[in-house]
Structure 1
Amino acid sequence: MFQALSSVLFPVILVAGLGALLSSRFPIDQGTISRITLYLLSPALVLDVLLKTPVQVGEALHLGVAYAVTLLACLGLGWLCGLGRPGLTQRSYSASVGIWNSGNMGLPIALFAFGQAGFERATVLFLASFVGMYAVGPAVYSLGRGGMSALDAVKDILRLPAIWATVLGVALRLLHVPLPEGLTRGVSLLAQATLPMVLLALGLHLGAAGRPRVNARLWLASGARLIGGPVIALGVGRVLGLDAQNLAVLVLSASMPTAVNALLIAREYDADVETVAGVATLSTLLSVVTIAGVVTLLPTLTGAPLHP
């Protein structure tokens, strides 16, 4: 447990912790940092990995299907956590459990735990979650409510640069068209800045949010996210026949805390922002222990060895 905590989580905790310290001492414009990450760095990472990753299209689709099934099951689990609460609050619990942090924490932890091969597969999940977050997330809040059509949701998805970077990267791979060396190096340079920036962004959010007002349902939803998520992923991955490496990366990804972007989506759709913020903060703090446990158990549960 200590080895998993120190070698895998400590680098993540260090960078995010520095961000939290900075945010607690100085006023930081988190909106600007989020836009830089969302509209510039994340698309560069997506394109860079799509052009370089050896993951085959069939393998990526298999992993993407496993993610989608896990996502739907986690949304249902979160819905159960919110039973008896008003409609928007119940939807917020569903989103809190179903939308996890496959980017800010999932990518670097996969890199530290499984090396480059694990990072490449985690990026496939990141791509799937990116689309899922901005397609399923709005649907959770808008389905059955007036004011937003399916066409509006599609437009929101299509305006995200990472979506177009995905299309471009897939097209270049299929057509075997290389980018000019100078452009490739520029994209790689931006991609290398993504992980430190997203970890800092996570820390900035935690430092500004302060201590959440904890209640029994927040504990329940956080447990559903951190424990129920990997259990569901393990079952889904085995049923769908994922190999050891892909299964391990899926389970690790599903053990991540609630994504900060879930809070942004809740605010955009006038949902229960306080509930989502509480689950995001509490699950992130608790994940220091639970992720270490998951990393320690992964070789036994999946047969995939950890990166030395």
Structure 2
Amino acid sequence: MTLILTVLQIVTPVFLLAAIGFAWVKLGIDYDTAFVTRLAMTLAVPALIFVALARGDIDPGAAGTLALAALVSYLAVLAAIWAICRVMRLGLRTYWAPLSFGNTGNLGLPLALFAFGELGLGFAVVVFSVGAMVQFTLGIMIVAGTVNPLRALREPMVAATLLGGLFLWQEWRVPAVALNTLDLIGQMAIPLMLITLGVAVARLQPQGLLRVAGLSLLKLAVCGAVALAVGTAFGLDRITLGVLVVQLATPVAVTSYLLAVKYGADAPPVAGLVVVSTLMAVGSLPLILAFFV
């Protein structure tokens, strides 16, 4: 009973904030998703990432090992999902990227913070950043059929990661005034992302529920198993292993739907994956956390 209550205390705030966004839309109140997303992704989230790394709460060696484990995990997941898509004759441009990349920002970062504290958030930022760089290079190549490797470097989140990683590696210290200001800005990120997630889910329409439910379960199993295997092989401790598994096991990200729309892939099935996998996460993520908390 104690374990159940602990897990519920971790996941309940996450889904309640998303529920606020969901209810906001259903009540017919305007929500400028484009503005809020731009505010979060260009200001709040980069500040959160930089502070989490530059503060120096995590060991640089452990962060480097986790980054390498995350990169290997993503590449292994991409290979596994490619094989599954070929066997099941699923369109690669439609299904490959969404089934490979999870919602490591909107859900992964808050869950890591509530489950493992500030230390867990720092490690979750590492996995999130690696995933973002892979998604904005290989992920876009998959969806669009072309790739510009420099695109990732133009993303504020990636720039914040590289700069924060440099401060962490060199053990530089940010002046207190600047760090406190960036910390305050970064505190906007998690509430904004969770509420926006609820808004996005409320506006999407699931397509082919039975099929996307099966694919959502498949994504959860493949990504979770790969992360657990790779993390164990790298000898990660309980917290870093838990962060890696939770991050990769997160549901299909709304970003995948936006990229499908932008680059002309088949967007409705991706929308269905986002909605169904997010609803499944209400039950699956607490079960995963129970193994590590």
TM-score normalised per structure 2: 0.91
Partner of 1:231: 225
User: Given the alignment, which residue of 90, 96, 101 partners 1:99?
Assistant: 101
Deviation sequence 1:152-186 (CA, Å, 0-9, x none): x2232122112222232233344444333322221
Q: Is 1:38 the equivalent of 2:46? A: no
Partner of 1:64: 67
Q: Is the 8 A contact 2:73 2:230 kept in 1?
A: yes
Q: Is the 8 A contact 1:110 1:249 kept in 2?
A: yes
When the two chains are superposed, the root-mean-square deviation of aligned CA atoms in Å is 2.1
Q: Is 1:163 the equivalent of 2:165? A: no
Counterpart mapping for 1:280-291 below 5 A: 280-291=274-285
Amino acid at match of 1:280: V
Distance 1:81 1:217, change over 3 A: farther
Q: In structure 1, how many angstroms separate the alpha carbons of the residues matched to 2:279 and 2:84?
A: 19
User: Given the alignment, which residue of 132, 135, 138 partners 1:133?
Assistant: 135
Partner of 2:243: 249
The gaps in structure 2 that reach 5 residues or longer are: none
Partner of 2:196: 201
Percentage identity across paired residues of the two chains: 29
Q: In structure 2, how many angstroms separate the alpha carbons of the residues matched to 1:174 and 1:2?
A: 38
Distance 1:159 1:126, change over 3 A: same
Amino acid at match of 1:27: D
Partner of 1:272: 266
The gaps in structure 1 that reach 5 residues or longer are: 300-305
Partner of 2:52: 49
Amino acid at match of 1:34: T
Distance 1:247 1:173, change over 3 A: closer
Distance 1:215 1:20, change over 3 A: closer
Deviation sequence 1:131-156 (CA, Å, 0-9, x none): 122122112224xx4xx3x4xx2232
Amino acid at match of 1:264: L
Q: Is the 8 A contact 1:78 1:224 kept in 2?
A: no
Deviation sequence 1:54-79 (CA, Å, 0-9, x none): 22322212111211222123223333
Distance 1:98 1:4, change over 3 A: farther
Counterpart mapping for 1:20-39 below 5 A: 20-24=22-26, 25-39=28-42
Q: In structure 1, how many angstroms separate the alpha carbons of the residues matched to 2:48 and 2:289?
A: 24
Q: In structure 1, how many angstroms separate the alpha carbons of the residues matched to 2:208 and 2:35?
A: 29
Distance 1:186 1:214, change over 3 A: same
Partner of 1:182: 177
Q: In structure 2, how many angstroms separate the alpha carbons of the residues matched to 1:267 and 1:275?
A: 11
Distance 1:177 1:90, change over 3 A: closer
Deviation sequence 1:104-147 (CA, Å, 0-9, x none): 111111122222222221111112122122122112224xx4xx
Q: Is the 8 A contact 1:78 1:96 kept in 2?
A: no
3-state SS of paired residue (2:235): coil
- Pick which of 193-202 and 89-98 moved more: 89-98
Q: In structure 2, how many angstroms separate the alpha carbons of the residues matched to 1:40 and 1:121?
A: 20
Partner of 1:261: 255
User: Given the alignment, which residue of 106, 123, 126 partners 2:125?
Assistant: 123
Shift of 1:201: 1.0
Distance 1:4 1:261, change over 3 A: farther
Q: In structure 2, how many angstroms separate the alpha carbons of the residues matched to 1:12 and 1:100?
A: 16
Amino acid at match of 2:269: T
Q: In structure 1, how many angstroms separate the alpha carbons of the residues matched to 2:167 and 2:120?
A: 23
3-state SS of paired residue (1:241): coil
Shift of 1:5: 5.0
Q: In structure 1, how many angstroms separate the alpha carbons of the residues matched to 2:32 and 2:85?
A: 32
TM-score normalised per structure 1: 0.87
Amino acid at match of 2:204: A
Amino acid at match of 2:141: A
Q: In structure 2, how many angstroms separate the alpha carbons of the residues matched to 1:225 and 1:55?
A: 30
